Structure 1
Amino acid sequence: MMKRWSQLSLTAKVLIGMVAGLLMGLLFRNLFTGHPLIEDYLINGLFHMTGQIFLTVLKMIVVPLVFTSIVCGTCSLKDITILGRLGGMTLALYLLTTAIAISLAMSVALLIGPGKGANLESAANFVAGEAPSLVDVLIGMFPSNPISAMASGNTLQIIVFSILFGIAIAAAGKPAQPLVKLFSALNEAMLKLVTLIMNLAPYGVMGLMGKLFYSIDLSAIFSLVEYFFVVLGVLILQVLITYCGLLKLLTGLNPRIFLKKMRDAFMFAFSTASSNATIPVTLETVTRRMGACNQVSSFTVPLGSTINMDGTAIMQGVATVFIAQAFGIHLAFNDYMMVIVTATLASIGTAGVPGVGLVMLAMVLQQVGLPLEGIALIMGVDRLLDMVRTAVNITGDSAVTCIVAKQQGGLNTDIYNDIHAGEREEHIDFHKINIGEQDRPVTNH
């Protein structure tokens, strides 16, 4: 049995862990709700501990991986002006996909009308945290103390410092060559650490899913079933139409291969509900499995995890229409256009704010005069939808990375078209963790 388990692909292992956790959570919820032994030692004990350790080690590697990867990629550039083109193209694509996402969401919601006839009222009040202005965000991108930025996990500040540090290393020339070799070695070690953590994923995912489905309020989902499935449907359309369409249109790459290679990262994002925590897996996917060069991926993926919020934009679009219909408030065409502009710009303006999805939604509702207490209506189903939104967000990050890499000549199409590319690097033999090149087994083809 153990031998057969070791022969399974990582995707299969993570999927088994996810399904096992989901089924156990639902089973214990229906048969042993409130049982002290189950709740204290299994749900809040083993499942909670396993899931949180997995999340913590994923977050542990984000800062060193982003720092070493960006420095390594930047200092190897021969022409620093490439960064300007790279940044402009990446930002434009992220804003474009966000605008498409919210437009698609409102169009589908208006067509289906999930809030029509609901006549819902809520006594609950929602107080949104104040979002910083775009000017404050731009100023805040530059760290006064890079060590403090790393300690607090401020992704935008880490990106800016890493780029400047990488440019400085490149400009220093020959005296800085030892630093180039050091960061190259560190980057390889970080990617191997990602592989090590990914081998623990099936158990961490099982813990996270087990606890979630034991505690999730399924009745809230049933009461808002139409809203839930409209958001879910638009999230799927965003992946199939927007991302796959842009990928095919701008690069000619096969979207089916892209989706197959996204499976591992998709499941990681779904289980963790955190784009930042999934950065290591997304980077590993776009570089080793899709063939994007480090110079591009080290910039686009961390930036995307911070400002690319297509999944959140979709929730905002559907929620705006739903809340307006539920409270019987008519919105004009100009109001809907204002929602598109506000949500698109807010995806950058609210970067790094805790509870960013609800903060952004509060901004949008205020902009068109809808009651903020409408947010309380949808909070019951938001946890499960947040998991899918995160998976959609990192899929968008990966699609944009492939498009930018192809446009910049930094995508290895042979690796991209090889459906098994990168699979060998997913496995670590813990009995032979340090095999020299001369000791590696020779395989006959």
Structure 2
Amino acid sequence: MSNTSSRPDAPASRRIPRMPFWAQILLGLVCGALLGWIAHSQDVLWLGATLKQTGSLFIQLLKLAIAPLVFFAIVVSITNLRNVSNAARLATRTLLWFMATSLIAVIIGLAIALITHPGAGTGLTAANGAKPQHTGSWLDFITGIVPTDVITPFTQLNVLQIVFMAAVVGIAALQLGEKAQPFLTLSETTLALLQKALWWVIRLAPLGTLGLIGNAINAYGWGLIKQYATFTADVYVGCLLVLFGVYPLLLTLVAKVSPVQFFRGAWPAIQLAFVSRSSVGTMPVTQKVTERLGVPREYASFAVPFGSTTKMDGCASIYPALASVFIAEVFGVHLGIRDYLLIVFVSVIGSAATAGLTGATVMLTLTLSTLGLPLAGVGLLLAIDPILDMMRTATNVAGQSVCTLLVAAREGILDRDKFGSVHGDLDLDRTGEAESAAVAV
């Protein structure tokens, strides 16, 4: 018996139009802000606790799949390079574009900091902040790449070490050839299962948005944002300049494609990154939108996972540059040309350090320790970090897609017809099914 609602002559009043995913996110954002304001201004404890738990549960669900997802995504992406001609050239070009855009981003961050002086006149001292839980140095970064065992990186979610192990396994599988095929089949099937489960979590993003935004406003209120007004504005302006200035310029001049069309296709990943504050958690959506924009699956499956763990224009370039100047001004430390050059060097070369732990704390402490600035300054920024991290992560994810598209365009493997045909919102139901089926193949 056929469903009456599926008939062409079914009454229009019975059809409930599906709300686009971006509209669901926006609705969650507005409702979260309103509920957070009510909880903060009226001191509604149960509402504040509910918002906190809702946001935390969403992030917890995302993190649950991150460790195995990164491992199998890197393994499969490396082995997929055997199907791509000039694989070494593509990998090298990808890394060079990652570094080039990071260089542009850190210069923009420094320029904004030197113009606005975000730390001047704030009245803040080290007593206003909390001690950071995570610190980083060049020695920690170098020695921390290689794990001491195969279990700890997964239990402690050390993404950098997981990437290292996955790269070793992927390269070894390439060297074994046909003997490794059973393992590769298992890896591809496991990756498909993980992506399918993660799509279910991603569908909860509107609810997660409500909880995360509501909790941020309830916990910090508008007063804290005002206290850090200049620094907060600097981070957002810097990220927006890169997001809507540098990236469109590169897309126009280098890739010869429409920036408007790019954002139309990439927006689902950018908005999810803004809400979730996780480049790795957004990785399946980033890869899907990148493929929708015409990048071949074989290359996208390598570049996007690689970029999700190492390509951080927001967290590793703009933010450390601004934060270093901010902390130096708060503590009355003068920075010279040598110091600014060191900031640029650390941002371009050491960005992979952000992969190991949450947020940009490790990258910032790495920069501060290189400059000799007090690490206590990191504590000044911890309270405001969730507000900043949303914009930073959105910039990170956009940069990962842009660089992948730039390389594909320059190498002549970009499907320009497919790029030009992208329209409408990302259908999560069909995307999840198609993604699982395609990876299994």
**TM-score when scaled to structure 1?**
0.81
| CA–CA separation in structure 2 for the residues paired with 1:372 and 1:65 | 33
Does the 8 Å contact 1:62/1:279 carry over to 2? no
Matched residue, 2:429: 427
Q: Which runs of 5+ in 2 are unaligned?
A: 1-11
Matched residue, 1:251: 255
What's the % identity of the aligned pairs? 31
For residues 38-96 of structure 1, what are the alpha-carbon distances to aligned partners after superposition, in whole Å with 9 as ceiling and x for unaligned?
x23x4323x34433332233223334433443443433444788443333222222222
Task: Give the 3-state SS of the residue equivalent to 1:216 in structure 2.
Answer: helix
Q: Does 1:403 align with 2:414?
A: no
The letter for the 2-side match of 1:209 is I
1:64-103 mapped onto 2 (5 Å cutoff): 64-78=68-82, 82-103=86-107
**1:233 aligns with one of 233, 237, 240:** 237
**How far off is 1:292 after superposition?**
2.5
215-224 or 384-393: which moved more? Answer: 215-224
The letter for the 2-side match of 1:225 is A
**1:199 aligns with one of 203, 206, 226:** 203
Does the 8 Å contact 1:286/1:292 carry over to 2? yes
| CA–CA separation in structure 1 for the residues paired with 2:380 and 2:166 | 42
Matched residue, 2:27: 16
**How far off is 1:337 after superposition?**
1.9
311-320 or 393-402: which moved more? Answer: 311-320
- Are residues 361 and 167 of structure 1, via their aligned partners in 2, closer, same or farther at CA, if it must alter by over 3 Å? closer
1:51-130 mapped onto 2 (5 Å cutoff): 51-78=55-82, 82-118=86-122, 120-124=124-128, 127=131, 129-130=134-135
- Are residues 161 and 373 of structure 1, via their aligned partners in 2, closer, same or farther at CA, if it must alter by over 3 Å? closer
RMSD: 3.5
**How far off is 1:236 after superposition?**
0.3
Matched residue, 1:443: none
Q: Which runs of 5+ in 1 are unaligned?
A: 438-445
For residues 91-136 of structure 1, what are the alpha-carbon distances to aligned partners after superposition, in whole Å with 9 as ceiling and x for unaligned?
22222222221211111222233344556544346655442436x6
| CA–CA separation in structure 1 for the residues paired with 2:377 and 2:176 | 56
Q: Does 1:364 align with 2:361?
A: no
Matched residue, 1:389: 392
Does the 8 Å contact 2:33/2:214 carry over to 1? yes
Does the 8 Å contact 1:405/1:411 carry over to 2? yes
124-133 or 97-106: which moved more? Answer: 124-133
**How far off is 1:151 after superposition?**
4.5
Does the 8 Å contact 2:40/2:48 carry over to 1? no
| CA–CA separation in structure 2 for the residues paired with 1:265 and 1:105 | 24
1:251-290 mapped onto 2 (5 Å cutoff): 251-287=255-291, 289-290=292-293
- Are residues 133 and 17 of structure 1, via their aligned partners in 2, closer, same or farther at CA, if it must alter by over 3 Å? same
**1:7 aligns with one of 6, 18, 22:** 18
| CA–CA separation in structure 2 for the residues paired with 1:125 and 1:208 | 22
153-162 or 239-248: which moved more? Answer: 153-162
For residues 229-256 of structure 1, what are the alpha-carbon distances to aligned partners after superposition, in whole Å with 9 as ceiling and x for unaligned?
1221111001122222223332212221
For residues 119-162 of structure 1, what are the alpha-carbon distances to aligned partners after superposition, in whole Å with 9 as ceiling and x for unaligned?
6544346655442436x645554556545544443333433444
| CA–CA separation in structure 1 for the residues paired with 2:405 and 2:374 | 40
Matched residue, 1:300: 303
The letter for the 1-side match of 2:398 is T
Does the 8 Å contact 2:354/2:362 carry over to 1? no
| CA–CA separation in structure 1 for the residues paired with 2:171 and 2:380 | 49
| CA–CA separation in structure 1 for the residues paired with 2:322 and 2:262 | 27
For residues 328-366 of structure 1, what are the alpha-carbon distances to aligned partners after superposition, in whole Å with 9 as ceiling and x for unaligned?
544332332222223333323x34444662343334344
Matched residue, 1:311: 314
Q: Does 1:415 align with 2:426?
A: no
Matched residue, 1:29: 40
Does the 8 Å contact 1:115/1:322 carry over to 2? yes
- Are residues 106 and 188 of structure 1, via their aligned partners in 2, closer, same or farther at CA, if it must alter by over 3 Å? same
Matched residue, 1:133: 138
The letter for the 1-side match of 2:159 is T
| CA–CA separation in structure 1 for the residues paired with 2:251 and 2:92 | 18
**TM-score when scaled to structure 2?**
0.81
**How far off is 1:17 after superposition?**
1.6
- Are residues 367 and 91 of structure 1, via their aligned partners in 2, closer, same or farther at CA, if it must alter by over 3 Å? same
Q: Does 1:335 align with 2:346?
A: no
